[in-house]
Chains A and B, each alone.
Chain A
Amino acid sequence: MTGVSPSVGALTAEFGSAILRTVVSCGDSIVYVTRERAHDILAWLKNTPGQEFDYLTDITAVDYRDPERPLEVVYQLRSLGRKADLRVKIALDGSAPLEVDSVYDLWKGADWLEREVYDMFGVSFVGHPDLRRILMWETYGEGYPLRKDFPLRGHFSRAEQVRQALAANPEAQYSLEELSLAQAMHDLPADMTERLRRGERGLVP
């Protein structure tokens, strides 16, 4: 096909059947890969001289309205030296749990990008150092908002959403890192320590 990135040819030569298909859309090359080899493929794309996709522009996910189409995790890569882009997609069908290997070891920027995908779509990233919600609060209980089966206004009533937002225990508003620092300095109030010990962080009373 015309306008396809030369990285695609190199990928197919290297990985063969792990490259499922290639699409060119609006001048961008998109490569669909299998979930099992995805981490190896991305590592190869980053480290091979001639590919050198050293900048991870974005990680996101797409949930299509059509229930036949699986949820896709999208990696947008860029080679700063070669000024080239590439998009790598992993299609996750509903048969296996929504899990993908984390690329935090390849690009540190994947830390918060993967947290966002986890928060909004529920895709778990195996090997991520600190996988927790980032846009919604950590103990948000309504599900994964950007999925197509999530209603626009959320599952709970407005009054319940306000109640949950206002009444979460105070320690839910701090990250675990801050809480453990405070605990090391003996700064944590006794009732917070007690609730944390019982595992009630963020429980709405």
Chain B
Amino acid sequence: MVVTPPAGGVELSAVSPNWVTTRLDFLSNWARSNSLWPMPFGTACCAIEFMATAASRFDLARFGMERLSYSPRQADVLICAGRLPFKLAPVIRRIWDQMPQPKWSISMGACASSGGIFDNYAMVQGIDTIIPVDVYVPGCPPRPEGLVYGIMLLQKKIKGESFTDSDLRQEHLVDDAGMFLPPERVDELSEPFGNSIHQTRSG
């Protein structure tokens, strides 16, 4: 294994995996997953449940997540707790872009995952049309135990990562039209489902 001194950051993913890389992976993944500093992007009711999860009964501090960061610069995981209006879409996109790697995101609640009960003109139908999402936590709002389960799933995902994986820490930027996903994919993800298909008011 050869690690060349960096000029500005190093492309360690060129290395082929071996025992040393797995030990280093274990170390860095253990450190990262047990100190995920969340950025609570709380917009609505799910933010209350996030506060409850962070408080004493359910306690995020045992995961190392008690230090909430309202600046994206010092945050590891963006927890979008609550519905996202279209007016707020460029804001969350910019905040996601301004988070330095390594970063993950949790979509908390039904509204952040799919638009929830708000299948209308004003709400984004799932933040995965705007930013990449690692874990979806269903619920309206999810119980604190549900959010904790989602966080533990994220920890498990992080522990499975390896720095020799070249497409891991990639920035998924918007394209020239300003879109994160191609239009067909956005339409596909925003398709009404369940009771929404019966709500075709006016027009």
Chain A residues with a Cβ under 8 A of chain B: 135-137, 142, 145, 148-154, 157-168, 173, 205
Contacts and interface: CB of A to CB of B under 8 A. Distances in A.
Nearest to A157: B187
Interface string B64-94: 0000000000000000000000110111010
Nearest to A163: B179
A158 B187 contact: yes
29 contacts: A136-B87, A136-B122, A137-B87, A142-B121, A145-B121, A145-B122, A150-B202, A151-B121, A151-B202, A152-B201, A153-B121, A154-B121, A157-B187, A158-B186, A158-B190, A159-B179, A160-B183, A162-B86, A162-B124, A162-B186, A163-B183, A164-B86, A165-B86, A165-B87, A166-B93, A166-B174, A166-B178, A166-B180, A205-B178
A148, A151, A152, A168 — which one has the most chain B CB atoms within 10 A of its CB?
A: A152
A150 B86 contact: no
Interface residues of B, number: 30
Contacts of A145: 121-122
Contacts of B122: 135-136, 145
A162 B129 contact: yes
Would you call the interface of chain A mostly helix, strand, loop, or mixed?
loop
Contact of A173 (B90, B125, B201): B90
Interface in B172-203: 174, 177-180, 183-184, 186-187, 190, 192, 199-203
Contact of B202 (A137, A149, A157, A165): A149
A167 B177 contact: yes
Contacts of A205: 178
B59 interface: no
A104 to B, nearest CB: 24
Interface of B: 86-87, 89-91, 93, 119-122, 124-125, 129-130, 174, 177-180, 183-184, 186-187, 190, 192, 199-203
Contacts of B124: 162, 165
A135 B174 CA distance: 26
Given A148-B202, A157-B187, A162 B121 contact: no
Given A136-B122, A145-B121, A152-B120, A165 B90 contact: yes
Nearest to A137: B87
Closest 6 CB pairs of A and B: A167-B178, A151-B203, A159-B183, A154-B121, A158-B190, A165-B86
B178 A161 contact: no
Contacts of B130: 162, 166
Contacts of B86: 137, 161-162, 164-165
B115 to A, nearest CB: 9
Nearest to B182: A159
A136 B85 CA distance: 9
